[in-house]
């Protein structure tokens, strides 16, 4: 009796999962590189370049002849 109940529960669980409608899988692959990023899907591919970013100057205070001077490199 116990094995019959286990088999019946397994069949009902399998049947319940098969009644739900599945959706199509839409695979999209994206990669981020050093110079550009891109994505590829079932409708084509897109490549995007990164915008130019100016380098940031590093500044620090330096003591010159008893006076603090701000130096930026």
Residue 15 within any structural domain of the chain: yes
Q: Which of 41-45, 57-61, 65-69 has the highest mean pLDDT?
A: 65-69
Residue 7 within any structural domain of the chain: yes
**pLDDT for the residue numbered 33:** 67
Residue 39 within any structural domain of the chain: yes
Question: How many domains are contained in the chain?
Answer: 1
Residue 11 within any structural domain of the chain: yes
Mean pLDDT of 14-43: 70
pLDDT band at 69 (very low <50, low <70, confident <90, very high): very high
pTM over 0.85: no
Average pLDDT, the chain: 77
- 37-68: burial string, b at 16+ Cβ within 10 Å, e else: eeeeeeeeeeeeeeeeeeeeeeeeeeeeeeee
Residue 68 within any structural domain of the chain: no
Higher pLDDT, 35 or 61: 61
The whole domain housing 44 covers 2-53
């Amino acid at each position: 009796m116990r094995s019959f109940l286990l088999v019946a529960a397994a069949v009902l669980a399998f049947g319940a999962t098969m009644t739900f409608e599945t959706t199509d899988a839409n695979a999209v692959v994206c990669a981020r590189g050093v110079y550009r990023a891109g994505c590829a899907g079932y409708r084509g591919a897109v490549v995007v370049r990164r915008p130019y970013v100016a380098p940031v100057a590093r500044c620090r205070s330096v003591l010159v002849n008893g006076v603090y001077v701000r130096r930026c490199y």
